[in-house]
Structure 1
Amino acid sequence: MSEARAAEFRRAWPVVVASAFGAGVGAVPIAFYSFGALIAPLQAAFGWSRTEITAAPLFLTIGGLVAGVVAGALADRYGGRRVVLWSQALLVVSFAAFAAMPPSLPVFYAGYAMLAILGAGTMTMTWSRAITGWFVAGRGLALGLSLVGTGLIGALLPAYVNALVARGGWQAAYLGLAALPLVLGLPLTFLFFRDPPAVGEAADAPPDTLAGSHRFADALRTRCFWQMSIAFFVAALAIASVIVHAVPLLTGRGISASTAAWLAGLIGIAVTAGRLVSGYLLDRLRAPNVAAAMLGLPAFACILLLHSGDNLWLCALAIVLVGLAGGAEHDIAAYFCAGFFGRRDYGKIYGLLYTLYGIGSGIGPLIAGRMVGTGDDYGVALYAGAGLFALAAVLIVTLVPPPRPGA
């Protein structure tokens, strides 16, 4: 590790630790990774259909669309630490409130929307805003480390929820989810999470963040921002489609449900690995090439899934490649946002980018579901996914950085 990278980590390693745990117990990871284990208990308790229950993540996405840019703007104005602490506290209350939920689908849907709205400060943009302010030479690796908690905690959440349901039903599960930001999020954020020096303060701010930052409106006028947004949007469409449909895709080929669930569980591990690998490489190689490779390899994975049949090893390889892209996407977006547009309005700029690829994640599985033919035939959807991944790679590798303001 170079001396510059080592100095950055010596100065700001507590921020990385707090971010890793805070991001892992944020609103979206907890709600998303725990949801599958809650479907059956909610069906049994309320008599709702699987289709009715699985509409809830769409409301989570809608809530995130409403709140993402607002949370980023608040972090730019008042500091990320303050926004995160308030959001974590509200997130605890939001999850705990589910335990008193009446048998009403509108209330259930509103609850998931409120998770994203009240917990918006725990989304990626606030953590990455701090990391990109504290790190330059080691920015890629620091971003990867700061977000590994989402994959690791995501891999453990289904078993955690199942154990809680077995002991106390679905109410105990939601109370247990509320305990995560209370125990793992709030204390570490309070003790270790600090905002970086403000832009223009020379004390110990990384040198390339003190000048040349774009205003939000200026960034929106650049081709670079919109080309990057389209790339991450189409990649999110494909990534979310494969992740959500992984189990039915595999069981449709005669693979047992338990084996399919185990294979799908590789996604959480791959997401963690993707964040670390992409972060390490972004600091050492040309960033657009790294991004194009991480987002382009899943195109091969989609083709592999088309022809792998019930071969477990080939299916596992394909799922891992998609998981790597899922982990790398957030790191790459944060890295490019800071590198291209600077820190001044980072929260708002990244908040909008996060919102746009959040839309992709929300609608991708629905579109893929519409493409599925009779007999669980995912052929058309997989061809479409391969094309989307290839398009994302081309858009990323051809990015031209915008001119600096005043240049």
Structure 2
Amino acid sequence: MNEPTTALEEWRRYWPTVLAAMVGMSFYTVLTYSLSTFIGPLEAEFGWSRTALSSGLTVFAGISMLGGPFIGMAVDKFGTRKLGIIGMVLAGLAFAAFSLLNGSIVQWIALYVIYGIFALAIKSTVWSAGISSVFTHARSLALAVVLSGSALGQTLAPLAANKLINAFGWREAYIWLGLGWAGVALVLLIPFYFDAHARKAREAPGSEQKPAIILPGLTIKEATRDSRVIRIALANLLMASVGSGVSVHLVRIVSETGISMDTAVEIAATAGLAGLIGKLGVGWLLDRVQGSLIPFSGFAIGAFGHFLLIGLIGGATPLLIGAMCIGFASGAGLQISTYLISRYAGLRNFGAIFGTISSMMMAGTALGPMFAGAVHDLTGSYDILEMIAAPVMLLCATLFVGLGPYPEFTRPEQD
């Protein structure tokens, strides 16, 4: 089959794969974004503290951090179709298993360990690698749509969990969310989700040994010495470290400037919408404009947002703009980095390379909220946090300056 020669042709041929991957990506976020809705019922039934309830997400983040490079190598070797489908089945069952909680914290942590291991096969590395393998001309926008699945989960998971808990109770809510959401994803993944490995295999259905497909790009050793890859990785580590802390504490950061709690919640909610705009807007632009302007601007906007949240300018409007800038930068930052790694490192070992970068981001995500809380405990405010975050984000932006033109990789010999 001839390869598409334009972005429009790619979308006409591969849009079902993008849709399936987006829904798959959305389920990966359900456990995180539904927890706040389950906290009340679990507290009431078992008497658990907020610290104990939050400990599961720390375990989940740790597993994602440690397992990222390994799942990336599996993606490079086996492709993403089988991993995504099997992972969705197991993760859905593991999510539903939370309905069996009996009040034991050990069981709570054990379920997070089990879910965390299975969920490695449905994290962003998997879907990003699969989409990058079939899209060239419209790759950035396709990645943006897929990664927007996280915003879909962030928006719908609390609403769905709340309705299910009110209608059936928290145990049944875990079952419906786990089997229902994962089931919808599987209905789309099985008939529609085919990455380059799977498409190559379908072209030779009668052969005894399915042909291996080796995509062009850097080896892992070459990537570890490539200054462009290192700069992108460092920018993501720094962004995650300051950004996660601010995001988790955003409502409190805004409310402690004198804004009412209700208004603070509304202001913080705009960050999610701005993040979606950042993903899609930057995704569309990166397919059309090469250079440092878009990557630099995407991160620099975050620096401006952190400056506004210091509260030097009175009123709710600067805080609203600041929250939206931070949300935009968060969405745009992941989109920028995923796309640029696919261009500067290529696709040969995209899973392992981006999986490692993703693990670095998870490390920052795990440490950031604790650092933000420590700053507040020591100083009584978040001002120093924002004073640190603003220049750090500006440093992240400068790391994207002068990366140079995208390299042209030659496809290695097929076995």
The TM-score normalised by the length of structure 1 is: 0.90
- Could you say if the C-alpha distance between residues 146 and 213 of structure 1 is closer, same or farther in structure 2, counting changes exceeding 3 Å? same
Q: Contact 2:95 / 2:178 at 8 angstroms: preserved in 1?
A: yes
Q: State the alpha-carbon separation in 1 of the partners of residues 117 and 289 from structure 2.
A: 37
Give the 3-state SS of the residue equivalent to 2:95 in structure 1.
Answer: helix
Q: Contact 2:148 / 2:279 at 8 angstroms: preserved in 1?
A: yes
- Could you say if the C-alpha distance between residues 397 and 113 of structure 1 is closer, same or farther in structure 2, counting changes exceeding 3 Å? farther
Give the 3-state SS of the residue equivalent to 1:396 in structure 2.
Answer: coil
Report the equivalent of 1:145: 145
Q: State the alpha-carbon separation in 2 of the partners of residues 200 and 398 from structure 1.
A: 36
Give the 3-state SS of the residue equivalent to 1:119 in structure 2.
Answer: helix
Report the equivalent of 1:83: 83
Amino acid at match of 2:373: G
Give the 3-state SS of the residue equivalent to 2:292 in structure 1.
Answer: helix
Match of 1:16 among 5, 15, 18: 18
Give the 3-state SS of the residue equivalent to 1:322 in structure 2.
Answer: helix
Amino acid at match of 2:237: F
Q: State the alpha-carbon separation in 2 of the partners of residues 400 and 390 from structure 1.
A: 19
- Of 47-56 and 270-279, deviating more is 47-56
Check if 1:188 corresponds to 2:188.
yes
Q: State the alpha-carbon separation in 2 of the partners of residues 378 and 282 from structure 1.
A: 34
Report the equivalent of 1:53: 53
Deviation at 1:375, TM superposition (A): 8.1
Match of 2:398 among 394, 398, 404: 394
Match of 1:377 among 381, 389, 393: 381
Amino acid at match of 1:4: T
Report the equivalent of 1:290: 294
Amino acid at match of 1:294: G
- Could you say if the C-alpha distance between residues 81 and 123 of structure 1 is closer, same or farther in structure 2, counting changes exceeding 3 Å? same
Q: Contact 1:61 / 1:113 at 8 angstroms: preserved in 2?
A: no
Q: State the alpha-carbon separation in 2 of the partners of residues 260 and 58 from structure 1.
A: 26
Q: Contact 1:66 / 1:117 at 8 angstroms: preserved in 2?
A: no
Deviation at 1:78, TM superposition (A): 1.5
Q: Contact 2:275 / 2:329 at 8 angstroms: preserved in 1?
A: yes
Amino acid at match of 2:45: A
Q: Contact 2:130 / 2:195 at 8 angstroms: preserved in 1?
A: yes
- Could you say if the C-alpha distance between residues 328 and 70 of structure 1 is closer, same or farther in structure 2, counting changes exceeding 3 Å? same
- Of 372-381 and 358-367, deviating more is 372-381
Map of 1:116-127 to 2, 5 A cutoff? 116-127=116-127
Deviation at 1:342, TM superposition (A): 1.3
- Of 355-364 and 176-185, deviating more is 176-185
Check if 1:360 corresponds to 2:364.
yes
Deviations 1:215-264 (A, max 9, x none): 12221232222222111100111221121001222233343433333322
Deviations 1:26-56 (A, max 9, x none): 2xx1122112222222222221222222222
Q: Contact 1:60 / 1:114 at 8 angstroms: preserved in 2?
A: no
Deviation at 1:211, TM superposition (A): 6.8
Deviations 1:78-101 (A, max 9, x none): 220000001100111111111101
Q: State the alpha-carbon separation in 2 of the partners of residues 337 and 136 from structure 1.
A: 13
- Could you say if the C-alpha distance between residues 63 and 180 of structure 1 is closer, same or farther in structure 2, counting changes exceeding 3 Å? farther
- Could you say if the C-alpha distance between residues 400 and 356 of structure 1 is closer, same or farther in structure 2, counting changes exceeding 3 Å? farther
Report the equivalent of 1:4: 6
Q: Contact 1:164 / 1:173 at 8 angstroms: preserved in 2?
A: yes
Q: State the alpha-carbon separation in 2 of the partners of residues 194 and 210 from structure 1.
A: 16
Map of 1:84-123 to 2, 5 A cutoff? 84-123=84-123
Q: State the alpha-carbon separation in 2 of the partners of residues 375 and 163 from structure 1.
A: 40
Q: State the alpha-carbon separation in 1 of the partners of residues 37 and 118 from structure 2.
A: 23
The TM-score normalised by the length of structure 2 is: 0.88
Map of 1:89-238 to 2, 5 A cutoff? 89-196=89-196, 212-238=216-242
- Of 262-271 and 345-354, deviating more is 262-271
Map of 1:334-345 to 2, 5 A cutoff? 334-345=338-349
Identical positions, percent: 28
Q: State the alpha-carbon separation in 1 of the partners of residues 8 and 239 from structure 2.
A: 33
Q: Contact 1:39 / 1:54 at 8 angstroms: preserved in 2?
A: no
Match of 1:312 among 308, 313, 316: 316
Q: State the alpha-carbon separation in 1 of the partners of residues 382 and 89 from structure 2.
A: 42
Deviations 1:139-196 (A, max 9, x none): 1111111222211231122222222222333323322320344232111111111012
- Where do 5+ consecutive residues of structure 1 fail to align? 204-208
- Could you say if the C-alpha distance between residues 341 and 3 of structure 1 is closer, same or farther in structure 2, counting changes exceeding 3 Å? closer
- Could you say if the C-alpha distance between residues 8 and 220 of structure 1 is closer, same or farther in structure 2, counting changes exceeding 3 Å? same
Deviation at 1:289, TM superposition (A): 2.2
- Of 298-307 and 175-184, deviating more is 175-184
Deviation at 1:294, TM superposition (A): 0.8
- Where do 5+ consecutive residues of structure 2 fail to align? 204-212, 411-415
Deviation at 1:121, TM superposition (A): 1.3
The alignment's C-alpha RMSD in Å is: 2.6
- Could you say if the C-alpha distance between residues 162 and 136 of structure 1 is closer, same or farther in structure 2, counting changes exceeding 3 Å? same
Q: Contact 1:71 / 1:83 at 8 angstroms: preserved in 2?
A: no
Q: Contact 2:79 / 2:130 at 8 angstroms: preserved in 1?
A: no
Give the 3-state SS of the residue equivalent to 2:48 in structure 1.
Answer: coil
Q: Contact 2:254 / 2:309 at 8 angstroms: preserved in 1?
A: no
- Of 184-193 and 327-336, deviating more is 327-336
Deviations 1:325-378 (A, max 9, x none): 221222222211110111111111111111111111111111111111468510
- Of 171-180 and 239-248, deviating more is 171-180
- Could you say if the C-alpha distance between residues 20 and 301 of structure 1 is closer, same or farther in structure 2, counting changes exceeding 3 Å? same
Q: State the alpha-carbon separation in 2 of the partners of residues 274 and 8 from structure 1.
A: 22
Amino acid at match of 2:248: V
- Of 370-379 and 214-223, deviating more is 370-379
Q: State the alpha-carbon separation in 2 of the partners of residues 233 and 87 from structure 1.
A: 26
Give the 3-state SS of the residue equivalent to 1:55 in structure 2.
Answer: helix
